Structure 1
Amino acid sequence: MSNGAETRNLPQPTFPLQTPGTAVVHAGPPQHPRIVSVPTRFTEHIIDLTEGTDVFAALEQALADFAVEGLTAEFVSGQFGPIAFVHPAYGPDAAHPMSFTEAFTVDHPARLAHAAATVGFRDGTPFCHIHASWTQDDGTIKGGHLLPGTLAGPEGLRVRVFALPDARLISDVDAETGFSAFAPHPTEPASPSPTAAPTPSESDRLTPRPPDAVVSRIRPGEILDEAVLAVCRSAGFDSAEVTASLGSTTGAVFVDGSAPWPAVEFTHLSGTVTGATSTGAISTTATSLGSSPTGAQDAAPQVVLTGEVVDVAGQVTRGTLEPGANPVAVTFELFVRRTA
Structure 2
Amino acid sequence: MSNGAETTDLPGPTFPLKQPGTAVVHAGPRQEPRIVSVPTRCAEHTLGLPEGADVFAALERSLADHTASGIMAEFDDGQFDRIDYVHPAYGPDADHPMSFTEAFSVSGPAQLRHASATVGVRNDAPFCHIHASWTDADGTVRGGHLLPGTLAGPEGLRIRLFVLADARLVSDVDPETGFSAFAPHPLDPDPATAEARISATDAPSQPGAPSRPTTPLPKDVPDAVVSRVRPGELLDEAVLAVAQNAGFAEAEVLASLGSTTGAVFTGGSAPWPAVEFTHLAGTVTGAQSEDPQVSLTGEVVDVAGEVRNGTLAMAANPTAVTFELFVRRIG
Q: What residue is the counterpart of 1:181 in the other structure? A: 181
User: Which structure has the larger Rg?
Assistant: 1
2: CA distance, partners of 1:188 / 1:305 = 32
SS in 2 for 1:14: coil
Partner of 1:114: 114
Provide, for residues 211-240 of structure 1, a one-character-per-residue CA deviation record: whole Å limited to 9, x for no partner: 100000000000000000000011000100
Relative to the length of structure 1, the TM-score reads: 0.86
Aligned position for 2:246: 235
8 Å CA contact 2:301, 2:307 repeated in 1: yes
- Mapped contact 2:10–2:90 kept (Cα < 8 A): no
Q: Deviations 1:251-284 (Å, cap 9, x if unpaired)?
A: 00000000000000000101000011124xxxxx
Tell me whether 1:311 sits opposite 2:302 in the alignment: yes
Kindly indicate whether the alpha-carbon contact (under 8 Å) linking 1:310 and 1:317 is maintained by their aligned counterparts in 2.
Answer: yes
1:246 matched to 2:237? The reply is: no
Are positions 1:49 and 2:81 aligned together?
Answer: no
Task: Measure, in 2, the Cα distance between the counterparts of 1:247 and 1:234.
Answer: 21
TM-score, length basis structure 2: 0.88
Matched, 1:335 2:326: yes
* Counterpart selection for 1:274 from 272, 285, 304: 285
Q: Secondary structure at the match of 1:244?
A: coil
Aligned partner letter, 1:75: F
Contact persistence 1:10–1:313 (CA under 8 A): no
CA distance in 1, matches of 2:178, 2:239: 24
1: CA distance, partners of 2:293 / 2:251: 11
Q: Which runs of 5+ in 1 are unaligned?
A: 1-8, 191-206, 280-299
Aligned partner of residue 255 in structure 2, secondary structure = strand
In structure 2, stretches of 5+ residues that fail to align are 1-8, 191-217
Amino acid paired to 2:95: A
Tell me how far apart the structure 2 counterparts of residues 152 and 210 of structure 1 sit (CA, whole Å).
Answer: 34
Amino acid at match of 2:101: T
- d(CA) in 1 for partners of 2:124 and 2:102? 27
Separation in 1 of the partners of 2:83 and 2:29?
35
- The equivalent of 1:84 in structure 2 is 84
What RMSD, in angstroms, separates the aligned Cα atoms of the two structures? 1.2
Q: Counterpart of 1:301 in structure 2: which amino acid?
A: P
Letter in 2 for 1:166: D
Residue 200 of structure 2 aligns with which residue? none
- 1-structure distance, mates of 2:175, 2:47: 35
Give distance in 1, aligned partners of 2:219 and 2:189. 10
**Match of residue 158 from structure 2:** 158
After TM superposition, give the deviation of residue 208 of structure 1 in Å. Answer: 7.8
Does the 8 Å CA contact 1:85/1:144 hold for their aligned counterparts? yes
Match of residue 20 from structure 1: 20
Structure 1 segments of 4+ aligned residues over 4 angstroms from their partners: none
Is 1:171 matched with 2:171? yes
Letter in 1 for 2:234: I
Per-residue CA deviations over 1:109-136 (Å, capped at 9, x if unaligned) read: 1010000000000000000000000001
Query: Displacement, 1:46?
Result: 0.6
Whole-angstrom distance in 1 between the partners of 2:224 and 2:45: 15
- Residue type of the partner of 2:241? A
Aligned residues with identical type, % of pairs: 73
Q: Deviations over 1:59-116 (max 9, x none)?
A: 0000011111000000000000100000000000000000000100011110100000
1:212/1:76 Cα in 2 relative to 1: closer, same or farther (>3 Å)? same
- 3-state DSSP of counterpart to 1:226: helix
The equivalent of 2:99 in structure 1 is 99
Report 1:291-310 matches (<5 A).
Answer: 300-310=291-301
State whether residues 73 and 118 of structure 2, in contact with CA within 8 Å, keep that contact through their aligned partners in structure 1.
Answer: yes
Letter in 1 for 2:170: I
CA displacement 1:175-195 (0-9 Å, x = unmatched): 0000000000001339xxxxx
Cα deviation, residue 210, structure 1: 2.4
Aligned length: 296
SS at match of 2:121: strand
SS in 2 for 1:229: helix
Q: Secondary structure at the match of 2:60?
A: helix
